[in-house]
Structure 1
Amino acid sequence: MSVTVFIQGRNGVTRWQPGKRWFLLPLMLMVAGTGLYQYSEDRFAQQQAQVDENEQLREQHKQQVVELKSATESQLALLVTHVAQLQAQITRLEALGQQVADNNLMADQFDFSEQAGVGGLNDIGRNIELNQLIDDMNSLASRIDNNSMQLSLLETVSSNLHIDKERYISGRPITKGWLSSAYGLRNDPFTGRRTMHKGIDFAGSEGADVVATAAGVVTWSGSMFGYGELVEIDHGNGLRTRYGHNKALSVNVGDVVAKGDIIASMGSTGRSTGPHVHYEVLRKGQQIDPSKFVYRKASL
Structure 2
Amino acid sequence: MSVTVFIQGRNGVTRWHPSKRWLLLPILLVAAGTGLYQQNADRFAAQQTKVDENQKLREQQKQQVLDLKKATETQLSTLVAHVARMQANVTRLEALGQQVAENNLLEDQFDFTADVGVGGLSEIGAGVELNQLLDDMSQLASRIDNNNVQLALLETVSTNLHIDKERYISGRPIVKGWLSSPYGLRNDPFNGRRTMHKGIDFAGKEGGDVIATAAGVVTWSGNMLGYGGLVEIDHGNGLRTRYGHNKSMSVNVGDVVAKGDKIASMGSTGRSTGPHVHYEVLRNGQQIDPRKFVYRKAS
So what's the TM-score if we normalise by structure 1? 0.86
* In structure 2, C-alpha distance between the alignment counterparts of 1:23 and 1:269, rounded to whole Å: 141
The equivalent of 1:27 in structure 2 is: 27
The equivalent of 1:120 in structure 2 is: none
The equivalent of 1:168 in structure 2 is: 168
- Of 207-216 and 39-48, the range deviating more from structure 2: 39-48
Superposition map of 1:36-185 within 5 A: 36-114=36-114, 129-185=129-185
The equivalent of 2:290 in structure 1 is: 290
**Cα distance per residue 1:51-80 (max 9 Å; x no partner):** 222222222222221221122122222222
Would you say the 8 A contact 1:95–1:112 is kept in 2?
Answer: yes
Distance 1:26 1:233, change over 3 A: same
Deviation at 1:224, TM superposition (A): 2.3
Superposition map of 1:147-296 within 5 A: 147-296=147-296
Distance 1:136 1:24, change over 3 A: same
Kindly provide the amino acid, as one letter, of the partner of residue 26 in structure 1: P
The equivalent of 2:123 in structure 1 is: none
Distance 1:238 1:11, change over 3 A: same
Q: What is the number of equivalent residue pairs in this alignment?
A: 289
Deviation at 1:9, TM superposition (A): 6.5
Deviation at 1:285, TM superposition (A): 0.7
Secondary structure of 1:95's match? helix
Deviation at 1:289, TM superposition (A): 1.4
Distance 1:49 1:226, change over 3 A: farther
* In structure 2, C-alpha distance between the alignment counterparts of 1:193 and 1:236, rounded to whole Å: 35
Secondary structure of 1:154's match? helix
Deviation at 1:245, TM superposition (A): 2.1
* In structure 2, C-alpha distance between the alignment counterparts of 1:249 and 1:48, rounded to whole Å: 94
Would you say the 8 A contact 1:94–1:112 is kept in 2?
Answer: yes
* In structure 2, C-alpha distance between the alignment counterparts of 1:28 and 1:229, rounded to whole Å: 127
Deviation at 1:136, TM superposition (A): 1.7
* In structure 2, C-alpha distance between the alignment counterparts of 1:167 and 1:254, rounded to whole Å: 16
Deviation at 1:169, TM superposition (A): 0.5
Deviation at 1:15, TM superposition (A): 4.7
* In structure 1, C-alpha distance between the alignment counterparts of 2:41 and 2:269, rounded to whole Å: 110
* In structure 1, C-alpha distance between the alignment counterparts of 2:215 and 2:224, rounded to whole Å: 22
Which ranges of structure 1 fall in alignment gaps of 5 or more residues? 117-126
Distance 1:57 1:163, change over 3 A: same
* In structure 2, C-alpha distance between the alignment counterparts of 1:41 and 1:249, rounded to whole Å: 103
Secondary structure of 1:153's match? helix
* In structure 2, C-alpha distance between the alignment counterparts of 1:94 and 1:9, rounded to whole Å: 116
Kindly provide the amino acid, as one letter, of the partner of residue 278 in structure 1: H
Secondary structure of 2:54's match? helix
The equivalent of 1:124 in structure 2 is: none
Deviation at 1:132, TM superposition (A): 1.3
| Structure 1 consecutive aligned stretches of length 4 or more whose deviation exceeds 6 Å | 9-13
